[in-house]
Amino acid sequence: MTAATTAAPVGHDTAPTGHDLAEVGRSPATLRTFLHGLPGVDQVGADQRAAMLATRSIKTTAKAWAIDLAIRMVDLTTLEGADTPGKVRALGAKARRPDPTDAGCPPVAAVCVYPAMVPVAAEALAGSGVHLASVATAFPAGQAPLDVKLADTRAAVAAGADEIDMVISRGAFLAGRYHEVYDEIVAVKQTCGDAHLKVILETGELASYDNVRRASWLAMLAGADFIKTSTGKVPVAATLPVTLIMLEAVRDFHAVTGRRIGVKPAGGIRTTKDAIRYLVLVNETAGDGWLTPDLFRFGASSLLNDLLMQRAKLATGAYSGPDYVTLD
């Protein structure tokens, strides 16, 4: 991909200064004033730009590169009540060697599981370099006291998780209790220790693009290493326009602070064509500096299968049969 074509934010103002940010989290009033002073989102403009970028296509060598990059960006996920140790071990093996017939196929970025399955996943991934992520903080609803959320996080990290995917309290955010959400993120970040923190905004429940922008900035101000769209447990998950707004937020945050925050769309991303659309969006919005698993991830399960089949198609010229990849 070529260097990004920098576009103005789909809003009407400029980003705040670094001096302003030093004061933002000091009180509920200053945080509210800051969040409601962010540029408003032009919904029509965001939808149109995302739709325009989705029409871009890449071919042959560039497509092969994009597929391998997308594989390296996958957080291979199983978050079901029926998860078993055997399923998690199989997922770990697939994460390490997505295509057992091709040693050149890269591993995925991470495996993401519930805290109870972290010890099993840690054993399955030992020595692989694949990260181990765990959802925590009463995922997916987030409806639990803070001490329960912190205990959930602490247990996952102690068992071997080096990434924590937390959910924000959407009820508190929508009620305008921004500082309560801020304080929870700060506390979870402290509990994570050296583990990276991905903050799930559950954008499908935030009601407006303006709220997506506010929640993105709130999470980054509180110490998030990544901001993530969704749990995958509500009807509306990741979308291109919402991810565009989040990418603009991390780009602007970096311009002010010098700190790069990652973005993770999750839920509903199932095909190679979908993944490439997101990669184009990243390149054209935040820039090619974000085209790395350290700063962009896909929360997915079935996406990897399609990426592997398309990869084989490019290599052989023919689509593989339905038994080419394992079912997750």
Going across the sheet that includes 298-300, the strands are 262-264, 226-228, 196-200, 163-167, 131-136, 110-113, 74-77, 298-300
Total count of residues recorded for the chain: 328
Whether 139 contacts 198, CB under 8 Å: no
Query: Which two three-digit tokens encode residue 167?
Result: 């959910």
Positions of E strands within 144-221: 163-167, 196-200
Coil/strand/helix, residue 264: strand
Q: Which of 149, 264, 274, 306 is flagged as catalytic?
A: 264
Q: Which of 75, 152, 162, 165 is flagged as catalytic?
A: 165
264 catalytic residue (yes or no): yes
End-to-end Cα spacing for the chain: 31
228 catalytic residue (yes or no): yes
189 catalytic residue (yes or no): no
Residue 283 has what DSSP assignment? H
Listed in sequence order, the residues at least 6 apart from 254 whose beta carbon sits closer than 8 Å to its beta carbon are: 260, 261
Tell which residue, 17, 61, 60, 68, has the closest CA to residue 255. 17
Listed in sequence order, the residues at least 6 apart from 75 whose beta carbon sits closer than 8 Å to its beta carbon are: 108, 109, 110, 111, 112, 133, 264, 266, 297, 298, 299, 300
Stretch (H or E) spanning 250: helix 240-257
Neighbours of 235 (CB within 10 A): 8
Q: Which of 210, 228, 252, 274 is flagged as catalytic?
A: 228
Neighbours of 160 (CB within 10 A): 17
Residues with catalytic annotation?
A: 165, 228, 264
